[in-house]
Amino acid sequence: MSVALGTKVFSRDDDLRNLLKSVEAHPIDRVIVADDGKMTSNKKSIYSSDWSFELTIIDLEFDAGLGKGRNEIVNELKEDYLFIVDTDHVLPPDIMDLIKILRVQEELGGIGGLIFEPDHGRIYDGCRDFDESNGGDILKFITPKKEVEFIHGLSFIPWDFIPNAAVFRREAVMDYSWDEEYVIGWEHADFYIGHWKQTNWEFGICPDVLIRHYPGGDNYYTSNRNSNSKNQDSFEYFLNKWGYTDVNYVNTGWVDTVDNESIKKKIKNRIRNMGF
């Protein structure tokens, strides 16, 4: 079994270094970094450091975008499994439990964990299923009640759309990858809609695994990430690509717990063991 991790970096060099440090604690063979930002002395130091894994740098055109970066990571992929995370994530000690579930659930193309933000004391799931209304003109993100399954003692909940930190089978990302037209915004939804419409791969989360997230960045990063024009262009492209006139989405992804007492206890214990 071979495992790679891919991330797209624009700036936030220190976050990238923290992510890579967290990778060293795991049997991950290679990290693939798609870089569409400015080269800095800090980045050069990171890229030339002696890591425990192989480090592959993909040098992209400036501001090529998240879709382009992730698609190039997939094009570079030779490993059996691919973690896709953002640079502001930190891998927890039990991250490889996600692969344990993938290996025994052959229908699964990818699985994520809950997103835990220590600085804000909150947990994010953001999971949704897809539906359509008005004769298929409107895409709906829905949250039906789910039965929790247990696989090798690990909790699992199936969803069409999962958080932005997950591990995928190589076969799944080869069947449908990220669309290079998205610079920022809607590339994540596009990936899962593509699988929902065009492949048979299923997805889900393991609430036992809490992936740390430290959002933020300087004005240079946030002005690019939160560009209204770029996000609007991505939204309009998404609608046109899939033939929708609108999207019905309610952002209620922040949760303090889940509707299962045993999982709730596990989450509390894991947060305590992480020192938060």
Provide the CATH number for the domain around residue 124.
Answer: 3.90.550.60
- pLDDT value at residue 124: 82
Q: What is the mean pLDDT of residues 115-130?
A: 86
**pLDDT, tens digit (0-9, with 9 covering 90-100), for 22-51:** 999 999 999 999 999 999 999 999 999 999
Q: Is the pLDDT of residue 223 over 70?
A: no
- Structural contact between residues 242 and 185, judged by C-beta atoms closer than 8 angstroms: no
Average pLDDT, integer, range 227-243: 91
What amino acid is encoded at 191 in this protein?
F
Q: Which pLDDT score is estimated for 241?
A: 97
Closest alpha carbon to 171 in 68, 28, 74: 74
The residue among 147 and 161 whose pLDDT is bigger is 161
For residue 44, give its domain range. Answer: 3-273
Q: Is the pLDDT of residue 224 over 70?
A: no
Within its chain, how far is the Cα of 110 from the centroid? 10
Percent of the chain with pLDDT over 70: 87
* Residue 269 predicted with pLDDT over 90: no
What domain count does the chain have? 1
Which tokens sit at 160?
């069409």
Which 3 state secondary structure label does DSSP give 248?
strand
Q: Out of 76-85, 199-208, 257-266, which region has the weakest mean confidence (pLDDT)?
A: 257-266
**Nearest-angstrom CA–CA distance, 67 and 145:** 31
pTM: 0.90
Q: So what's the pLDDT on residue 260?
A: 56
116: amino acid identity, one letter: F
Neighbour-count burial of 191, counting CB atoms closer than 10 A to its CB (0-12 exposed, 13-18 middle, 19+ buried): buried
Tokens in use for 7?
A: 């991330």
- 117 pLDDT higher than 80: yes
Average pLDDT, the chain: 89
- d(C-alpha 183, C-alpha 198), whole Å: 22
113-122, 164-173, 245-254: which has the highest mean pLDDT? 164-173
Nearest Cα residue to 111 out of 42, 147, 158, 179: 158
Residue 253 confidence (pLDDT) above 80 = no
pLDDT at 225 over 80: no
Greatest Cα-to-Cα distance within the chain, rounded to the nearest angstrom? 56
Percent of the chain with pLDDT over 90: 71
The string of pLDDT tens digits covering residues 162-185 is 988 999 999 999 999 999 999 888
Which amino acid type is present at position 127? C
- Residue 256's pLDDT band (cuts 50, 70, 90): very low
Q: For 90-112, what is each residue's pLDDT tens digit?
A: 999 999 999 999 999 999 999 99
